[in-house]
A and B are shown apart, each in its own frame.
Chain A
């Protein structure tokens, strides 16, 4: 195999199919379990709260069992790469900072996190000079502030900096 490392499969289509089908089965189990606990039968006064969800769970389980079986029997020639290493790296390079950004929003507020988030991308992926990074990241955050807090009067999460400036 003389494939470029970036084009190697990070994991195969088959394992992705199996993983997601198992996730659906787990979800179905959660739904069925709680519905049975609530009562999924038909009483004198009508259906119990779990009646409808119970059957949803059963259908999800049945459909996913078929998907799972088909994935397990998937012929090898159809089992292509689900995602290549290079692609996965690109996706993760956005996913991980996004998760960090969401965590920061709860702590620093949305405006400061937004500045850091955009600055990181521009500097790290875009390789822009610092003056551009700073002006775009800070500038867009101020525009966001004006749009949401001032014009549409929608309060967004704010942190220590806004409190310090007396606008939070």
Chain B
């Protein structure tokens, strides 16, 4: 059992006092980010990423930095549930499904029970996903070592085609948003020949568009405009969580083991193929309603209806790191931001990471176990504190939030231009969200654009411009074939539906 040994080594790396302190800091920051609607995991990590530049100059520092950032992510996953249950306001998109049964429970005075169920199932979902990562990641990384440029381009193609095939947004809009992401990534210096592209003479565009600026604008500012439309009034139930409620709920939870397992499986699957936590939570809620004995009572305050989406969301959010670490292809926007961070720190995510940066990888995996335990402790003990954040009036929170976004954007390159770009991206983010243009593939494309283009061009150089290289070996042919299948899935399913109606 090499994995167990590596994992134990990883615990050694992660268990230093500094790293443990960073873990708790990250989780607390993450929960705050998760609680505030508008401030989400992806842009929370993006804003704090520049602060780790100084920290990540040594190898140990890189491990600490990733621990801090990934724990912010875990915290955000936990935090989204708090507002969903207490205020019926999902703090994060992936906790929308938690409101369906969580808020009714809170109204019946069972907020403590709902919160405990949500946190515990989040933890279980994450734990199952981390176990999956521990044993599957080395295998995949090993397998991917034999990949050439053609295979890597195939994997990128598969990722992006999966978005078209699996997202619930209209496929043409998904394609337009995604390709725009690639085009934004192409702005600036051509990575192969060094010529300037798409700058139209603007010297500010020499370095291209930074994905961090795009994330902060699209997700951060865009989200706050959307939240504003709702008109802001937070009215919630008070939360009381004492040990008795927690223990009583824990006694009840094992009854839902089948729902948990099913939801975790849905979540892991959706996290690895880049479906993301949000569709995973909805899908798992739907599946649970269909298969549960109490399915018809869902929506009236069933604990099981909280367990299902929370398990799936957390499992998806966690397993999204699996393809990011092993293939360099993130499964969610937040994983994309983390990947961008790795690139900035000078680490190349992908199969070689498991050989060259053993400490980093296993330290990170070990910190996933520890970080989620830390998260569970923090949320179970501090719920009233976090709920109080939402009582800060919006006229104070909104400007401070926009300021933090602008600071986050400025610190990326110390450029005032980026602060303007955040506002521009924010306005577009607002329109895109309302018109169902998906943001996740766009951000992923900005992060992966240069790599995808390089892989494509290298593969084409091998074959002297012959596209058949993407079907040459059985491996690359099956990856490309699957990608094309997913790409045309919306059309196929439309055709099938038409046939069936006849």
Binding site for B on A (CB under 8 A): 13, 16-17, 20, 24, 27, 30-31, 34-35, 38, 42, 46-53, 56-57, 59-60, 63-64, 66-67, 70, 82-83, 87, 90-91, 94-95, 97-99, 101-102, 105-106, 110, 114, 117-118, 120-122, 125-126, 128, 136, 140, 144, 148, 152-157
Q: Which residues of B contact A20 (CB under 8 A)?
A: 431-432, 435, 437
Given contacts A49-B197, A101-B406, A110-B410, is CB(A63)–CB(B173) below 8 Å?
Answer: yes
Q: Is B60 an interface residue (CB 8 A)?
A: no
Contact B179 A121 (CB under 8 A): no
A91 x B396 contact (CB < 8 A): no
B403 and A114 form a contact (CB under 8 A): yes
Are A110 and B407 touching (Cβ within 8 A)? yes
Partner of A38, one of B195, B229, B456: B195
Contact present for B419 and A34 (CB under 8 Å)? no
Task: Kindly state the separation between the CA atoms of A97 and B399 in the bound complex, as whole angstroms.
Answer: 9
Q: Does B190 contact A (CB under 8 A)?
A: yes
Residues of B within 8 A of A114 (CB): 399, 403
Q: Is the CB of B54 within 8 A of A156?
A: no
Provide a sorted-by-A list of 25 A–B residue pairs whose CB atoms are within 8 angstroms: A20-B435, A35-B197, A42-B465, A46-B457, A46-B461, A47-B457, A51-B457, A52-B186, A52-B456, A52-B457, A53-B186, A63-B179, A67-B172, A70-B172, A87-B228, A94-B228, A94-B398, A98-B221, A99-B423, A105-B419, A120-B399, A121-B398, A121-B399, A122-B396, A152-B51
In the bound complex, CA of A148 to CA of B197 (Å): 35
Asked if B434 and A82 sit within 8 Å, CB to CB, the answer is: yes
Residues of A within 8 A of B403 (CB): 101, 110, 114, 117-118, 144
Asked if A91 and B179 make an inter-chain contact with CB atoms under 8 angstroms apart, the answer reads no
In this complex, the member of B182, B394, B399, B461 whose beta carbon has the largest number of chain A beta carbons within 10 angstroms is: B399
Contact indicator B225/A122 (Cβ below 8 Å): no
- What total of A-B pairs shows CB separation below 8 Å? 159
- A157 near B416 with CB under 8 A, answer yes
Least Cβ distance of A78 to chain B in Å?
13
Partner pick for B179 among A30, A46, A59, A105, CB 8 A cutoff: A59
| Residue in B50, B182, B228, B398 whose beta carbon sits within 8 Å of that of A56 in the complex | B182
Given A90-B231, A110-B407, A122-B396; A95-B427 close (CB under 8 Å): yes
Q: Which residues of B contact A13 (CB under 8 A)?
A: 435
| Chain A residues touching B, majority SS | helix
Kindly name the residue among B173, B430, B432 whose own CB sees the greatest number of chain A CB atoms within 10 A. Answer: B173
Cβ contacts under 8 Å, B423 to chain A:
95, 98-99, 102
- B453 — nearest CB in chain A belongs to which residue? A52
In whole Å, how far is A73's beta carbon from the nearest beta carbon of chain B? 14
Please give, as numbers and ranges, the residues of chain A lying within 8 Å of B432 by CB-CB distance: 20
- Contact between A67 and B407 (Cβ–Cβ < 8 Å)? no
Distance in Å: Cβ of A92 to nearest Cβ of chain B: 9
Query: Is B402's beta carbon under 8 Å from chain A?
Result: yes
**Assembly CA distance A114 to B192 (angstroms):** 42
Most buried by B among A42, A48, A52, A152: A52
Q: Are the C-beta atoms of A30 and B400 separated by less than 8 Å?
A: no
User: Among A49, A63, A121, which residue has its beta carbon within 8 angstroms of that of B175?
Assistant: A63
Contacts of B186 in A (CB 8 A): 31, 52-53, 56
- Chain A residue, CB-CB nearest to B181: A56
Q: Is the CB of B229 within 8 A of A64?
A: no
Chain B contact residues: helix, strand, loop or mixed: helix
**For this complex, into which size category does the number of interface residues on chain B fall?**
35 or more
A154-B224 in contact (CB<8A): no
A122 touches B406 (CB 8 A): no
Tell which of B173, B225, B395, B456 touches A121, judged by Cβ atoms closer than 8 Å: B395
Enumerate chain B residues within 8 angstroms of A125, measured Cβ to Cβ.
394-395
List the 7 shortest-distance A-B pairs measured between CB atoms, nearest first. Answer: A126-B395, A63-B176, A49-B190, A63-B175, A125-B395, A87-B229, A121-B399
Other A-B pairs beyond A60-B183, A83-B434, 14, CB < 8 Å: A20-B432, A31-B183, A46-B457, A52-B457, A60-B176, A63-B179, A64-B172, A67-B170, A91-B229, A101-B403, A110-B407, A122-B395, A125-B394, A144-B403
Residues of B within 8 Å of A154, CB to CB, are 50-51, 411
Q: Nearest Cβ distance between residue A111 and chain B, in whole angstroms?
A: 10
Given A20-B437, A91-B229, do A101 and B197 touch, yes or no (CB 8 Å)? Answer: no
B224 touches A94 (CB 8 A): yes
User: Which B-chain residue is minimally distant from A39 (CB atoms)?
Assistant: B195
Smallest CB gap from B395: residue in A: A126
Which B residue sits closest to A128, measured CB to CB? B395
B193 interface residue per 8 A CB criterion: yes
Question: What's the nearest-Cβ distance from chain A to residue B417, in Å?
Answer: 10
Q: How far is the CA of A47 from the CA of B190 in the complex (A)?
A: 12
- Note all chain A residues with C-beta closer than 8 A to B175: 59-60, 63
Q: Which residues of A are found within 8 Å of B198, using beta-carbon distances? A: 30-31, 34-35, 53
With A63-B173, A99-B423 as contacts: A16 and B406 at CB distance below 8 Å: no
Say yes or no for B460: interface residue by CB 8 A criterion: yes
**Most A C-beta atoms less than 10 A away, residue of B231, B400, B456:** B400
B142 interfacial by beta-carbon distance below 8 Å? no
Q: Does B176 contact A64, Cβ atoms closer than 8 Å?
A: yes
Q: Is the CB of B400 within 8 A of A140?
A: yes
B16 contacts partner chain A, Cβ-Cβ < 8 Å: no
A168 to B338, CA, bound (A): 32
Contact in complex: B453, A95 (CB < 8 Å): no
User: With A and B bound together, what is the CA distance between A110 and B192 in angstroms?
Assistant: 38
Q: Given B50, B182, B402, which contacts A98 in the complex, CB threshold below 8 Å?
A: B402
Residues of A within 8 A of B416 (CB): 105-106, 157
